[in-house]
Structure 1
């Protein structure tokens, strides 16, 4: 089906009419993207962020913008323990970007292991309130620890297979964090790799490509237990009185904390052959007709959400962005029907 190249009110048509919107998307301060996410219901954010990441990638600015966001976040944060833990515009962008560029890496790393986990006949339930009366909880806990070890061992072997963009983000996280919050330099890398990438994928295996079918309730429970343990391990957080039945897992954490930290350091160390571009790119890359689906999607959203976006910009007191936004909407007009 041919894409409809409707003219904007400024007379431009097709991709040319979207250059002003693209310019707002790729501004390093992320003010426009923040207004979009603030106006977007959480159920629709993943799709909109996919369009935003696509546009940033076409302009070869995603890494540059994420790095800028990381630097600003560290500067503005007073407590290293909270770094990149909240769902800010920067962390949402990091999550969407990781999902976009890490698809093949994720599947190659974990799909076989998830398949084996699903087919296992071993007991996994460790919560006395949820286990059947005849289940051996000690044996189940040992099974859980064994599978967590298998996941960690698999992941830490994949440094060279990880997308170089992953490692560039990890390096920037560590470089920016270490001088101000030295005790958090591993936590921030672990947060990106596990909290933003591996753990969400494990919890949604069909969507992430780790499973062909929806998991059964029992399989989902296994994934939840493994993902939670991996996330706690990456955070350096041990189990306590709240989940006392998992306290024996702390031995697993002690055994693997150093291994995981070495992995984080390796992920944050770029190959000698890789040249990091430190200078911001200038100008915009010319768009093509193949870009129109993402542009139309974003145009439709901002048009339909303009009132909420204006309210968000007014709340921030960003008069310049507000003026540019109104001018952009006036020039674009109504979104095309495809």
Structure 2
């Protein structure tokens, strides 16, 4: 709504200091929409606001979908790298690919019961409203856990990316995490540069809607120019030497001094500098549209650096800010603009991709200390870097010049307590995953409220299968604050957390709520309606609305509520003064509705572009997953042979008797078309495949048979079968890339309760016995 200064201008005749304070509170209150919903108002402003709310919600939801898909792409990148490294076939990752398909019907049995749901409602309200708990988790979780945590935190708990309270709480969490990072990092040079859960968190924050919007508006034109005008700008002397087709056997130093190479590189350097100058100037001139949250994080980095390292020169402090702003935010978008949907066509030309990489290197070297020791050829750009160093440092310092939000956050928090519809859309596995992390890392918390909720919740449920991973709307409320509110205002029927603020009286709350309601009543009537004649008569307006014959229950309810609040205001000793100020503020607000509508519509136009971009990004990520799926299917189709599809029999055994491995109890599928092999347990122990067996081999050893089945290439089922028993003693199924990933994480053993297997030797056995390419 109105800026505070403009509202004060319209009410300069305020008779008391108490009222001047109220104007400030009222401005904040109105800016957040107050407690009165305007969903049923149908004027042009309301329609524009509803459309804007729709866009913000859609962007927040789509951002979450994109984050999940990016996580899947990253996961498959790792898996395929392992497959190529180990030269083994792999079964397609059905759990990942299933994100591209419709989910099955959700089983109601997956939902927690009502008591558990209420406890989770309390837990997530506590996590959302007190960021210190999530901040603790972010500093404790491993790299393998951070993505799931970030998904829940940034796209669910604080998923409404354009809602002031959630954004400010998320930034408060960042402040705590950054403070921890500064306290625990031993060397200044290592701050914010290592790939840690904290750095991943900062990168993820920049990928939300506001960050995407900024990148699109700032970089698209520059990057499209580079893609549309492909040039060979390679400046690495060794690579340039290869281009000449007469590449003699030279060292890097010799190539750098070669006259022919120098003649090629010189004009390229000038062209590259011109491109970098264009990109850099565009970024510097965009300071005013850098999202507030990103600027605020820059401010925290500068403040922490100056407190922790008071003797650090300004250039070093700026390098830390640059490590976040350029390394985590700007440069990834330059190097891979197609991922951010910043360009109109893919940079298929290798020269374009190399140019983008060089531009990112130059920007990073300007913002950071030069890295020419690793890449000596970049030393040729030192004059350009030096000329622009102070310019960039000035820009980074100016980014930090933003106001804090703590005063308004306090107001946001109390207003949140008054909302009866505060909720988040969350999946069951996000709920259970967060529960599990809390149990694992901060179960010994000294926070009384968190300790109480965690104790009542008890054991963490297991994650549910994807088909049962329903999304639910989880209402958020605090059992402790709600009881205080009800006790405080049981006589008046009011339920408003603002009353808990020590400097805000009940009359202030009445003033703010009445103002919101009356403005919404007035908006419901057409311009020129007789009841709206100036000066406004508040009670007449409220009475007319309460007894209105229009078919609008919202107007009638507001009228009745306004009359009740006017009656309550009349009891205050400042009633006449309050009414005078209230009329003045309402008239001032109404006079600004036209400009507010223009502002809302302009913001909607901007967000429509953002929504289109992140929707295109979603399609791009899905196409990447489709490409991976095709690749994995191709691997499978080329690793099998007809010979291998028959059952291979042990030399001393005739496989004519059905066994539990081929048709497990309750299974609707058969492995009889796949490859099955049978082994002697004692022999596998001698070969080191089985490390230990807890069963008494001297008694049951001859009765034990170890089966390995491969129902499909890259997929295996292991079973320990005892003769005479219908069910296996132990059964486990896995994909070969699961085993590769375990080995890559340097895990040596697989514990199957009664058996412990060697990861390395099992891998050797499977490759020897089941490699389809032999």
TM-score by length of 2: 0.37
Residues 149-188 of structure 1 mapped to structure 2, 5 A cutoff: 149-181=277-309, 182-183=312-313, 184-188=316-320
- List per-residue Cα deviations over 1:85-127 (Å, max 9, x = no partner): 1233332222111221311111101011000011124321112
User: For the residues of structure 2 that align with 1:213 and 1:4, how far apart are their CA atoms?
Assistant: 43
Corresponding residue for residue 229 of structure 1: 362
1:229-268, aligned counterparts within 5 Å? 229-240=362-373, 242-268=374-400
Change (3 A) 1:235 1:125: same
Residue 133 in 1 paired to residue 238 in 2? no
Alpha-carbon deviations, 1:172-221, whole Å to 9, x = none? 21112123323332112111110110011212211212124442233221
Structure 1 residues 16 and 261, CA, compared in 2 at 3 Å: closer, same or farther? same
CA distance in 2, matches of 1:238, 1:52: 35
The answer for the alignment partner of 2:195 in structure 1 is 87
- The SS at the match of 2:238 is coil
Which structure has the highest helix share of the two?
1
- 2:122 counterpart of 1:11: no
Q: Distance in 2 between matches of 1:126 and 1:96?
A: 32
Q: Is the 8 A contact 2:150 2:201 kept in 1?
A: yes
Choose which of 406, 409, 416 in structure 2 pairs with 1:277: 406
Q: Relative to 1, partners in 2 of residues 1:222 and 1:300: Cα closer, same or farther, differing over 3 Å?
A: farther
- 1:70 match: 178
CA contact 2:218–2:286 (8 Å) conserved in 1: yes
**Could you tell me which residue of structure 2 aligns to residue 96 of structure 1?**
204
User: Using a 3 Å threshold, how does the CA distance of structure 1 residues 123 and 297 change in structure 2: closer, same or farther?
Assistant: farther
Match of 1:53 in 2: 154
Could you tell me which residue of structure 1 aligns to residue 444 of structure 2? 320
Q: Residues 174-213 of structure 1 correspond to what in structure 2 (within 5 A)?
A: 174-181=302-309, 182-183=312-313, 184-213=316-345
Contact 2:106–2:469, Cα closer than 8 Å, also in 1: no
Q: Could you say if the C-alpha distance between residues 23 and 112 of structure 1 is closer, same or farther in structure 2, counting changes exceeding 3 Å?
A: same
Q: 1:320 to 1:249 in 2, by over 3 A?
A: same
- Please tell me the root mean square deviation across aligned C-alpha atoms, in Å: 3.6
Give the 3 Å change call, closer, same or farther, for CA 211–173 of structure 1 in structure 2: same
Cα gap change, 1:33/1:9 in structure 2, threshold over 3 Å: closer, same or farther? farther
Q: Relative to 1, partners in 2 of residues 1:106 and 1:287: Cα closer, same or farther, differing over 3 Å? A: farther
Which has the greater radius of gyration? 2
Highest RCO, 1 vs 2 (Cα 8 Å, sep ≥ 6): 1
Distance 1:144 1:93, change over 3 A: same
Distance across 1 between alignment mates of 2:357 and 2:232: 14
Aligned residues of 1:69 and 1:90 also touching (Cα < 8 A):
yes
**What runs of 5+ residues in structure 2 fail to find an aligned partner?**
1-101, 161-165, 246-260, 471-774
SS of equivalent residue, structure 2 residue 444:
helix
Pair 1:38-2:166 in alignment: no
Give, in whole Å, the separation in 1 of the partners of 2:218 and 2:269: 24
Checking the alignment, whether the CA contact within 8 Å between 1:64 and 1:280 is kept in structure 2 is no
Give 3-state SS (helix, strand or coil) of 2:244's partner: coil
Q: Matched residue of 1:247: which SS?
A: helix
Does the CA-based 8 Å contact 2:131-2:170 persist in structure 1?
Answer: no
- Structure 1 pair 235–328 and aligned structure 2 pair: CA distance change class (3 A): farther
TM-score, length basis structure 1: 0.79
**Contact 1:106–1:198 (CA<8 Å) still a contact in 2?**
yes
Find the residue that maps to 1:248 and give its secondary structure.
helix
Cα separation, 2, equivalents of 1:147 and 1:88? 32
Which has the larger displacement, 168-177 or 81-90?
81-90
Provide closer, same or farther for how the CA distance between residues 50 and 287 of structure 1 changes in structure 2, counting only shifts above 3 A: farther
Q: Secondary structure at the match of 1:264?
A: helix
- Residues 209/260 of structure 1: CA separation in 2 closer, same or farther (3 Å cut): same
Secondary structure of residue in 2 paired with 1:207: coil
Once the 2 structures are TM-superposed, how far is the Cα of residue 325 of structure 1 from its aligned partner?
A: 6.9
CA distance in 2, matches of 1:311, 1:224: 43
- Tell me, yes or no, if structure 1 residue 118 matches structure 2 residue 227: yes
Q: Which runs of 5+ in 1 are unaligned?
A: none
**Equivalence for 2:215:** 106
